[in-house]
Structure 1
Amino acid sequence: MTVKQFQLSDMLISEHQVSVPLDWRDPQHSPCINVFYREVVSVERAAQKLPLLLFLQGGPGGKSPRPQSGHPCWLPQALETYRVILLDQRGTGQSSRIDASLIAHKTAEQGRDYLLNFRADSIIKDCEYIRKTCYHSQQFYTLGQSYGGFLTLSYLSYAPQALAGCFVTGGLAGIDATAEQVYQLTYPLVAEKTELFYQQYPDTRVRLAQIGECLANEAVYLPDGERLTAERFQSLGILLGTGSGMQTLYYLVDEAFAGHAKQALSDTFLAQVMMLANYWDNPLYAVMQESIYGQGQQATNWAAQRVRDQLGGFKGNPESLPLTGEMIYPWMFEQIGYLKPFAPAANALAAYNDYSYLYDLECLGRNEVLVVAAVYANDMYVPRTLSERTAQLTANLHTWVTDKFEHDGVRQSTEVFEHLTTMMHELSH
């Protein structure tokens, strides 16, 4: 169903909404949810039959980018060739978004079972429904950023006939890695990024330690009334894996204290931390984070917290404050107000041990769909070692390993999509 259509600059944008089963395992008896997507096409090519490019957003829990003139930066080039589909994955954006109020009325088990319908396998079935019913079964090209690359690998596993070719940026998941194995690799990567940050901005080492001491020794409250703990502040290390993250963290820390006093944290600092360290816009990112690694009969069981406890050394001291990255902890569902209603379901999800398999290694091993992937050598979120192993396990997958960009390179520079487009063209001819 087309909701509306409008022109923005040289783009014709149409908005669509379809109804799909909440539970694809029993579509005949399942209640339905809405899935929303935008189709974007160049005005001058709108009447042409063009190849379709489905963008798979990172996350989990991330809605698709909202198209603007020149944004996202890869879009203008894509529109020279493709009709682009920007999907709000189920549970995000306008696709039956999951809010705290929805989960708050469910028991722990009801919430867990509801959330299990929002994993990669269900998202791929939504994509297939859209492809078959709205695009007459025309094959998709896909562009998967980060978690969108995880989705791509699931798509290649279970519906490869639907795909004409795949672009992946920073998203070659460790298809046979457990959550614990992932975090055993990413904690050292965060430590390396933190040290690079201190080398680039030497004054921040002491200042971060001062902030940590302040938060450990007294109760400090954010403008929304929630207490800012040292561990919540440490979680802002997640910024360090993006192209502009070090600068963002530097400017934040640089104005941490009011005037010359090193005891009182400034209002502007606290306001910025409040905006950076919450999940109002993407609660599924927190709730579903570890479940994206869940396969078979193995519970994730708060793997990030377990590995953190094994490693130790996160208390901080007067000289330095360690930071954490893309890790979700059980205490977040106690300290962060918006996440509190999700706590029972999140704990039940952490204990769950009957996951569907997200990848078919045998199918990937004989893959015939051309896949070109950017692997970021210094990726803090998706370890290079796991990406390269997945590339070895997946037939017809070609990588471009680069240290020029961080994890969000495709959003930072047109060069990433341009390079992959050239690879796709050369390898398919």
Structure 2
Amino acid sequence: MIASFDLSEFINRYVTGRSESLLQADFESYDAELSARINGKNVLVIGGAGSIGSSYIKAILRFKVSKLVVVDISENGLTELVRDLRSSVDFNIPDDFITYPVNFGDKVFEKLFRRLGPFDIVANFAAHKHVRSEKDVFSIEAMVENNVLRARRLLDLLLECPPEHFFCVSTDKAANPVNVMGASKKLMEELIMAYADRLPIKTARFANVAFSNGSLPLGFLERLNKRQPWSCPLGIRRFFVSPQESGELCLIASIMGESGDIFFPKLDAEKDMVPFDRIAKDLLEDLGLELDACTSEEEARQKALKLSTVPASWPVYFFGSDTSGEKSYEEFFTDGEELDNESFVNLGVIKNSLKRDKAEIDMIFDKLNDLFATEEVSKAAVVEILKTYLPNFSHIETGKGLDSKM
């Protein structure tokens, strides 16, 4: 059904509206400096099998690194990454290239870090990135552990042999967060900034990566292949970057930024924010299918059962979003943050991010660890601790989660 579908072309035409990368001008401007800072370096990428991590690897392999070590908990993802890279002609794959299906919070990671290092460039993309991951106290504890507590152990490990460049990915949802995922990433930002005087740390808040792993748009294609109906919220608008742009953005941030910098793409809210329902409609049209709008999930499921071998239409259930932590708009920075909009063509930089001292970070972490160690831990208790230390955190709780929807 979608054998001839060109996903990259669809993203360029209907999602980002850009025929060339948003970062093209910045790469041209900083090409010589990027080459000087990347060529011949030893690189470690954590979470490298994911959508952004793998795109970062593809961006950095357009230069000539000496060593590339990739760590990710997804063994299958690493396998596909290797196959993808070695089946392409666009990348300078070093002779010293190896992947490990390892959790960066495990002892074995510390062993391979010390044995295979030192590393000049370290980039961390391991994260819980979905709002749906705040469904209950267990998923929240896992999210905070991955996004914050393990990041702390990584920073302490890096102090043993500091790299020239360290990057840890954030999210636009860290700006005035309304969900626990965004709050955890905001806390991660403040954690890494506490180390910015000892490590060359940079991060980036950026838009949704179009058709990334686990995203709703990619889910449309998955449902299509499985002959299942679509489900799509109405009126939820998001900024989008292409997978290529996500990797390039993080690469420029990691290499060209100054310690403590938070990068973000210069995107226009009126021109560049795209509603999910428009993506769904454009995708159906591009695939040559009519929209069959349904009034319920059950109606959509029943219609999917009756699809012909070569269908002319596809059932879609559109609904109003009512789940916890769902923000109706996106923003990259907040009032009071100092912006540098001059150094890069299509990237802005937040320069005066909050830098807590180590003692305050320790206190926050002790509160979280003590809470998780009790039998009385609850989602509300975690939210209250985060609100105490993150004044801009305004949690939206509706009692409903995305796992209850199709």
Return the TM-score normalized by structure 1. 0.29
Return the TM-score normalized by structure 2. 0.30
